[in-house]
Amino acid sequence: MSRDYILHKVRTALGRGAGQAVADPPPVRIRIPQVSIDDRIASLLERVRALAGQAVVADDPRAFIANIVAGKSAVASNAPFLADCGITGLPGVRSGITGREELRDLCATVDAGITCADYALADTGTLVLLASPHEARMISLLPPAHIAVVPRARILTGLDELFSLLPNPAEATSSMVLITGPSRTADIEQILVRGVHGPGSLTVLVV
Amino acid sequence: MSTEFAQKSHDALVDPKLQLAIYTSTARLKQNRIDAVSPAALPDYQELRAQANAIKKHTIDNLDHYLEELESNVAAHGGKVVYCKDGTEVSDFILNLAKERGAHLIVKSKSMTTEEVDLNERLEHHGLESVETDLGEYILQLAHERPYHIVAPALHMTRYQVADLFERELHAPREIVIEKQTALARSVLREKFLAADIGISGANFLVADSGAVVIVENEGNARLTTSAPKIHIAVAGIEKVIPRAQDLATFLKLLARSATGQLLSVYTSFLSGPRREGEIDGPEEFYVVLLDNGRTRLLPDKGKRQSLFCIRCGACLNTCPVYRKIGGHSFPWVYSGPIGAILTPQFMGTQHEPALPFASSLCGACGEVCPVKIDIPKVLLDLRSEVKKSDAREGRNRLEKLGFRLFAWLMTHPPLFEMAGRIARSMGWPTSRKGPLGAWLSERDLPPLPAHSFREMWRRR
């Protein structure tokens, strides 16, 4: 087994003994600025729009989403907040799916996926989604459009605040994903194309 | 300089379309980075660089400790760490696993580490189908080419070349509109994602305190690779480990800005272990393959060890006057540009391509843009000295040595030196491109010789 061989080689090269103690790493660098909630919302909207996403503050999220998905099909996550907003009950919207295969097949065919972001980062226009019984990975990934509902209290200033709230995200979930704008590529001649593998359309609704 | 290195560099230099492609692409990436790290956009950029450097230094200096911490935390979340010495061990592990699980189709997301060991070829040699899913990498796999650039792998190809390739390989009607080419690749690859048994990814960071793999990408293919199939295998070099999840607050701010000028890449995935109880989707099995493949050879030397700090942003390529002329395929291994010029000799031995550390003007631009502050010019100098020492040991530089001894002797005998100067002026510069100075003269125009030497003018003043 190469485990011991490699670790031995590393230790010999570094002049360290097995299990030798380690000095403390440099202190983490976390700087959280003071930003009012109104400014955080404004920054989030501006950043998402700069990435060609749509971003709005919605007083009536149900009506807003009803308008987008009218005549189309969508999958909504099992987040209680979406049900509370009445989004899961909209015509054409399916929700409450707990089977891996069933959800995947559905996500591969619907027009839009609707999620509830665990957090959003104001300074980069980023959505943070943690996989859980409420949020599946595929809903924000397979459909061509992603609609994310963000409760306004969940808008953080940025990465530093996120990692101070979740110093070890692995304790909470097997998968945390940060989404900053629609899927994109510039692999051919550096020409920007949206929606290469993930959703090409992103809508952020601050509630 | 090997003839291959010289020939490939020459081929790139005389290809005007390629020169334009390299120049415009790197110019755009370079400017995007400059804007993204400007004091107005990121006031604490220099502090972040210093912090990133300090964390990398600490981690590499104590690498065994953090590898073991990572290993136990991956296991705590239900995953498994597999240590591999080289490419053979990586492919053996994957082939065995595929056999046990009855797997045939593998989807892959972009990983320079797997390029190092030609993983696709090894797997396909044993009858597995292994498909690259990053658009650029997919194009290169169809074309049987190596990545041209660390972050923009198909930088050298035009839409017309892609059109020919797709027509030939995918049997689709010829299409030159880039959006439609992308849509075609999307639909072909979507089928693969949904049918794949195993997903193989790389890793941008391995987080010791969380047992997590962090993957940064723009397309969504890495998310699909790591969550659609039942098995996820992340292949990463042992140097990718960082101590804490909180260190990502430093590294993520630097990586995308340095690579493409984005504030963050579109998708940053933080993955620890397989799908957990109650989670709806995600892989059932999770493996982290830790690859040595020559990395431990870089550890003994405290100065050159810093080469392992690299986070593969590609900023040094975009700013390098040499890369921007000779391009990525002139370099003898998968890593190109300044970082390739210091990694390749250390991974493969300086004799793999002895000219590599010399393929630099030592202008220092690479060191200046490096987000983790690797002193690339210093490492280049160290490697030059190594090449020369080995040349001396092997007696390969006899002619050079003789030349310099003759020169030293002339310089210490002024009358002879003056006479030699007069003879040289009467004969003119050598113009033949053959002989020991041929390579040097082939790319340079020498200034005309003056009629009188400095000494003569001084005497006549």
What ranges do the domains of chain A cover? 27-206
Q: What integer pLDDT is reported at residue B432 of this predicted model?
A: 67
pLDDT tens sequence across B262-298: 999 999 999 999 999 999 999 999 999 999 999 999 9
The interface pTM score, or ipTM, of the predicted complex is: 0.98
Residue in A with minimal Cα distance to B62: A22
Residue (of B152, B148, B168) closest to B160 by Cα position: B168
Q: Are strands B205-207 and B212-217 parallel, antiparallel or unpaired?
A: antiparallel
The CA distances from residue B440 to B6, B331, B354, in Å, are 12, 19, 16
Residue-wise pLDDT tens digits, B368-410? 999 999 999 999 999 999 999 988 888 888 888 898 999 999 9
Test mutation, B134, B158, B269, B280, chain A, max A CBs within 10 A: B280
Tell if the CB–CB gap between A173 and B279 is shorter than 8 Å: yes
Q: Which of A70-74, B132-136, B223-227, B413-417 has the lowest mean pLDDT?
A: B413-417
Cβ distance B331 to B156 under 8 Å?
Answer: no
- What is the pLDDT averaged over residues B180-190? 97
Q: How far is B401 from chain A (nearest CA, A)?
A: 34
> Considering only the top CATH level, what class is A27-206?
alpha beta
Partner A, chain B 370-389, Cβ-Cβ below 8 Å: none
Chain A contacts in chain B segment 296-335 (CB below 8 A): 296, 299-300
Q: Say whether A7 and B67 touch across the interface (CB within 8 A).
A: yes
Are residues A197 and B220 in contact, defined by beta-carbon separation less than 8 angstroms?
Answer: yes
Cβ–Cβ < 8 Å for A65, A114: yes
Summarised one tens digit per residue, pLDDT across range B84-96 is: 999 999 999 999 9
pLDDT confidence of residue B461: 85
User: In sequence order, what E strands does B256-353 have?
Assistant: 267-271, 285-291
DSSP secondary structure letters along A113-169: EEEE-SEEETTTTEEEEE-SSS--SGGGTSSSEEEEEE-GGGEESSHHHHHHH-S-G
- How many Cβ atoms sit within 10 Å of the Cβ of residue B397? 16
pLDDT at B422: 87
pLDDT tens-digit series, residues A142-159: 999 999 999 999 999 999
B364-374 burial, b if ≥16 CB within 10 A, otherwise e?
ebbbebbbbbb
Gyration radius of chain A over CA positions: 21
CA distances from B449 to B239, B422, B424, B435 (A): 53, 11, 9, 21
pLDDT at B394: 85
From the centroid of its chain, how far is CA B47?
A: 25
> Which chain A residues have a beta carbon less than 8 Å from that of B281?
100, 103-104, 131, 136-138
Alpha-carbon span B359 to B337, nearest angstrom: 9
CA B76 to chain A, closest CA, distance in angstroms equals 10
How far is CA B172 from its chain centroid? 33
Cross-strand pairs, B205: B214
pLDDT of residue B294: 96
Domains of chain B in sequence order? 44-49+59-238+254-293 (3.40.50.10420), 296-309+316-394 (no CATH), 406-460 (no CATH)
Q: Does B253 touch chain A (CB under 8 A)?
A: yes
Q: How far is B450 from chain A (nearest CA, A)?
A: 49
Residues of B (19-38) whose Cβ lies below 8 Å from A: 21, 24-25, 28
Of B63, B134, B211, the CB nearest to A10: B63
With beta carbons less than 8 A apart as the criterion, state whether B342 and B323 touch.
Answer: no
Secondary structure letter of residue B240 according to DSSP? G
Q: Are B214 and B269 in contact (CB under 8 A)?
A: yes
SS3 state of residue B105: strand
Residue burial B250-262, b: 16+ Cβ < 10 Å; e: rest: bbbbbbbbbbbbb
User: Which sign, positive or negative, has the C-alpha torsion B172, B177, B182, B187?
Assistant: negative
Shortest Cα distance from B392 to chain A (angstroms)? 26
Q: Do B159 and A188 touch (CB under 8 A)?
A: yes
Cβ neighbours of residue B436 closer than 8 Å, sequence gap 6 or more = B399, B403
Q: What residues 67-96 of chain A have any CB closer than 8 A to a CB of chain B?
A: 78
How is the beta sheet containing A126-130 ordered, strand by strand? A155-156, A119-121, A126-130, A175-179, B267-271, B212-217, B205-207, B241-242
Tokens matching residue A195: 């929606």
Note whether B281 contacts A100, CB cutoff 8 Å. yes
Q: Does the global pTM surpass 0.90?
A: yes
Task: State percent of chain A over pLDDT 90.
Answer: 99
Please indicate whether, in this complex, the C-beta atoms of A180 and B51 are within 8 angstroms of each other.
Answer: no
**Residues facing residue A128 across a β-bridge:** A119, A178
Q: Contacts of residue A103 in chain B, CB cutoff 8 Å?
A: 280-281
pLDDT of residue B3: 85
- Chain A residues 140-169 within an 8 A CB cutoff of chain B: 141, 159-160, 162-164, 166-169
Contact B255, B214 (CB under 8 A): no
Quick check: B275 and B284 in contact, CB under 8 A? yes
Report d(CA B90, CA B295) in Å as an integer.
15
Cα angle B351-B354-B358, degrees, rounded to a multiple of 5:
155
